[in-house]
Amino acid sequence: MAGIYIHIPFCKQACHYCNFHFATSLRHTNELVAALLKETALRQEYFGGETVETIYFGGGTPSLLEMEQIRVLVKQVYTRFPVHENAEITLETNPDDITEEKLIDWKETGINRLSIGIQSFFEEDLRWMNRAHTAEQALGNLQLARNYFENITIDLIYGTPGLTTEKWKQNVDTAIAMNIPHLSCYALTVEPKTPLQKLIRLGKAEDVNPDKQSEQFLLLMQWLADAGYEHYEISNFARPGFRSRHNSSYWRGKKYLGIGPSAHSYDGTSRQWNIPNNNIYIESLNKGMIPFEKEILTPVQKLNEYIMTSLRTSEGLDIDKPGEKQGNEIIKKAEQYIERGLMLQEGNRFVLTKEGKLLADGIAADLFFT
């Protein structure tokens, strides 16, 4: 089964660390939604009739949309694609956008999973990140959301200069105490061309400490394991039964369609990505054209992507999948990581240890084929 991602490129303000595509002006929201509806119609044959299992509203901040705008987008997907009766439909939201009225409306529209961008429960950290919400809103509106939605995930960021180990534990303990069933936890990354990178370069902000990030990640894995969470992907932890079906499809190499400016798509043989420019996107769709670039993947590229994504998961890398020759080469390359305690072999699968997860990208790259 396939998944659909709808990118809503609007935010109230720019977080200092963010390099996603978005605009802080909401003037062209109606035009953008109209373009999204047109692209969805033009892409209705993308899966060749395959059933859609997940729909994900990401961004940006999808919760900035009016209720009717969300409603017509959901309806358009159901009109243009066969959708599974138990489809997972996720909406990303920030705490400051959550109200009781919106929660009721979202649920009535078909949204059955919320992804809430908490990042931290500490006011000073939120100000440092330039987040739009307060610590009070993070705690209070998360609790409000729990009254209406069972399936909730929150984002938390670790490894920021001002985040001590004690504060990091309080963030995690708060989520556990509130019985949040899914957590996505990310180490702060200083991305190019972001306000954070500029502040660090000018000496106005402290740079990240990789050793501190590693320590906080190792502690995170232990705390959540003790609390009964499954660490099913490098950055993702879930109570049993609450894994993200949408994101899991990415890691398993399933087909997905990205709607909206900067959104990516994959049909099993090729990738394509829409232009990250709202105005050009809208103008192109008004002319009945989708502004995108496309790449046909080679067998080696597909194999390397499988190595990269599978090693990030708890299921690990199946050495039978690439074929006997490539599988034997992977076994040979993996020996050093097994000896160093960074990887385990479980039957026909290789999985990373806790220490190995600290070096996941580098280990995967070393196993790549050229």
The class of domain 2-251 in CATH terms is alpha beta
Percent of the chain with pLDDT over 90: 83
- Write down the residue that tokens 């705690």 correspond to: 139
Q: What is the pTM of this model?
A: 0.94
CA separation, residue 354 to residues 41, 133, 171, 315 (Å): 44, 33, 21, 14
Contact 121, 170 (CB under 8 A): yes
Dist CA 332 CA 315 (whole Å): 20
List every span in the chain annotated with CATH 3.20.20.70: 2-251
Question: What local confidence, expressed as pLDDT, does residue 190 receive?
Answer: 73
Mean pLDDT of 320-338: 91
Contact 187, 158 (CB under 8 A): yes
3-state secondary structure 103-171: HHHHHHHCCCEEEEEEECCCHHHHHHHCCCCCHHHHHHHHHHHHCCCCCEEEEEEECCCCCCHHHHHHH
pLDDT tens column, 166-210: 999 999 999 999 999 999 999 988 778 777 787 778 777 778 788
Between 205 and 123, where is the model more confident? 123
In three-state secondary structure terms, 306 is helix
Question: What local confidence, expressed as pLDDT, does residue 181 receive?
Answer: 98
pLDDT tens column, 44-100: 999 999 999 999 999 889 999 999 999 999 999 999 999 999 999 999 999 999 999
Give the max Cα distance, the chain: 58
Nearest to 91 by CA among 76, 107, 75: 107
Contact 195, 169 (CB under 8 A): no
- Write down the residue that tokens 């990118």 correspond to: 7
Contact 155, 117 (CB under 8 A): yes
pLDDT tens column, 251-297: 999 999 999 999 999 999 999 999 999 999 999 999 999 999 999 99
Residue 302 has pLDDT above 70, yes or no: yes
Mean pLDDT of 345-356: 95
Task: Give ∠ CA 337-297-316 in degrees, rounded to 5.
Answer: 30
